[in-house]
Structure 1
Amino acid sequence: MGTLRRRAALVIAGTAAVGMVLTGCSDSGSGRKSSNSSGGSSSSKGSSKDSSKGSGKTQDPSDTPTKDDGGKTVPAGKPSKPATGGGGRTGPCTDAETELTVTAAPRPVNYQLITLTNTGKRTCTVLHYPVVSFGPDLDGTAEGREDTRPQAVVTLKPGASAYAGLNTSPADQADDGTKPHAKTLSVDLIKKVGADGSTVQLGEPDTVKVNDLFIYEPKVSYWQQEMDLALS
Structure 2
Amino acid sequence: MGTLRRRAALVIAGTAAVGMVLTGCSDSGSGRKSSGSSGGSSSSKGSSKDSGKGTGNGSGSGKTQPTDTPSKGGGGKTVPAGKPSKPATGGGGGTGPCTDAETKTTVTAAPRPVNYQLITLTNTSKRTCTVLSYPVVSFGPDLDGTAEGREDTKPQAVVTLKPGASAYAGLNTSPADQADDGSKPHAKSLSVDLIKKVGGDGSTLQFGRPESFKVNDLFIYEPTVTYWQQELDVALS
TM-score with structure 1 setting the length: 0.66
Distance 2:78 2:97 in 1: 32
Q: Which structure 2 residue ranges, 5 or more long, are not aligned?
A: 1-67, 69-76
1:63 deviates by 1.6
1:171 aligns with 2:188: no
Q: After TM superposition, what 4+ stretches of structure 1 lie above 2 angstroms from structure 2? A: 64-67, 79-85
Which residue of 73, 81, 84 corresponds with 1:64? 81
Q: Deviations over 1:66-118 (max 9, x none)?
A: 55xxxxxx4xxxx2347855xx5211111111111000111111000000011
SS at match of 2:218: strand
Give 2:165's aligned residue: 160
Choose 1 or 2 for highest CA Rg.
2
TM-score by length of 2: 0.65
Which amino acid is 2:187 matched to?
A
Q: Match for residue 185 of structure 2? A: 180
Alignment of 1:47-196 (within 5 A): 63-66=80-83, 74=85, 79-81=86-88, 84-85=91-92, 89-196=94-201
Q: CA RMSD in A?
A: 2.2
C-alpha distance after superposition, 1:166-186 (max 9, x if no partner): 000000000001100001110
**Selected match of 1:200 from 178, 202, 205:** 205
Q: Which has the higher helix share?
A: 2
- Is 1:221 paired with 2:223? no
Offset, 1:122:
1.0
Q: Secondary structure at 1:63's aligned position in 2?
A: coil
CA contact (8 A) 1:144 1:221 kept: yes
Letter matched to residue 197 of structure 2: K
**Deviation for aligned residue 1:120:** 1.1
Give aligned-pair identity as a percent.
Answer: 78
Aligned partner of residue 108 in structure 1, secondary structure: coil
Q: Distance in 1 between matches of 2:137 and 2:151?
A: 15
Q: How does 1:11-22 map to 2 (within 5 A)?
A: none
* d(CA) in 1 for partners of 2:79, 2:203: 38
SS at match of 2:152: helix
Paired with 2:137 and 2:113, the residues of 1 have a C-alpha distance of 19
Would you say how many aligned residue pairs link Structure 1 and Structure 2? 164
The amino acid across from 1:63 in the alignment is P
